[in-house]
Homo-oligomer: A and B are copies of this chain.
Amino acid sequence: MKIAIFPGSFDPITTGHVDIIKRAIPLFDKIYVAIGQNSQKKYLFELKQRVDWLENVMSDFDNVFVEVYEGLTVNFAKDIKANYLIRGLRNASDFDYEKTISQLNNIIGKGLETVFFISQPEFNHISSTIVREIIKGKGDVSSFVPESIYLDLKQKYYIS
């Protein structure tokens, strides 16, 4: 069984995340989209909200499941018997960080393998960090998050 974990904060989920998941689906039997919750980190959206959005978006896909975990990703990967980690790469400045993390996960996770996808041109400039800034500034995020999330954001946060 090829089981993969796609970890992140998903604060909030973006169209960039959805693109990576869609492209990863055919390669794996099961994908866990997993929110790594860190009690010392501040998030713009509450955990429950982030889970709801993820579940809403992931309900379109078979074999994709939403989870929440605390602590090291490698430990959670072990718990759910994941043997693969999925990561998206956007640009060269991500690279050295992702390389270090993937090499460490391989060592600590005793063979946990990371598979990378490079984001498509139309998603390359989209990140949760950017989306949060636009939301805070009440800007238009309609092209950066899935449509259902956008409608929800509009209603709840009065963004344009």
- Cβ of A58 < 8 Å from any Cβ of B? no
- Cβ of A34 < 8 Å from any Cβ of B? no
The interface residues of chain B lying within 8 Å CB-to-CB of A74 are: 139
Main DSSP-derived SS at the A contact region: helix
CA distance A45 to B154 in the complex (A): 36
- Asked if B93 contacts A118 (CB within 8 A), the reply is no
- Asked if A103 contacts B91 (CB within 8 A), the reply is no
Given A100-B130, A118-B102, A122-B121: A107 in contact with B71 (beta carbons within 8 A): no
- Cβ of A9 < 8 Å from any Cβ of B? no
The interface residues of chain B lying within 8 Å CB-to-CB of A89 are: 95, 99, 116
- Cβ of A117 < 8 Å from any Cβ of B? yes
Given A100-B125, A125-B99, A134-B108: A117 in contact with B115 (beta carbons within 8 A): yes
- Cβ of A138 < 8 Å from any Cβ of B? yes
The count of chain A contact residues (Cβ–Cβ below 8 Å) is: 48
The interface residues of chain B lying within 8 Å CB-to-CB of A90 are: 96
CA distance A71 to B133 in the complex (A): 9
- Asked if A118 contacts B103 (CB within 8 A), the reply is yes
Chain B residue with minimal CB distance to A107?
B143
- 13 inter-chain pairs at a CB distance below 8 angstroms, sorted by A residue, are A2-B26, A71-B138, A72-B133, A72-B139, A75-B137, A75-B139, A91-B91, A91-B92, A91-B96, A98-B118, A100-B127, A108-B134, A114-B117
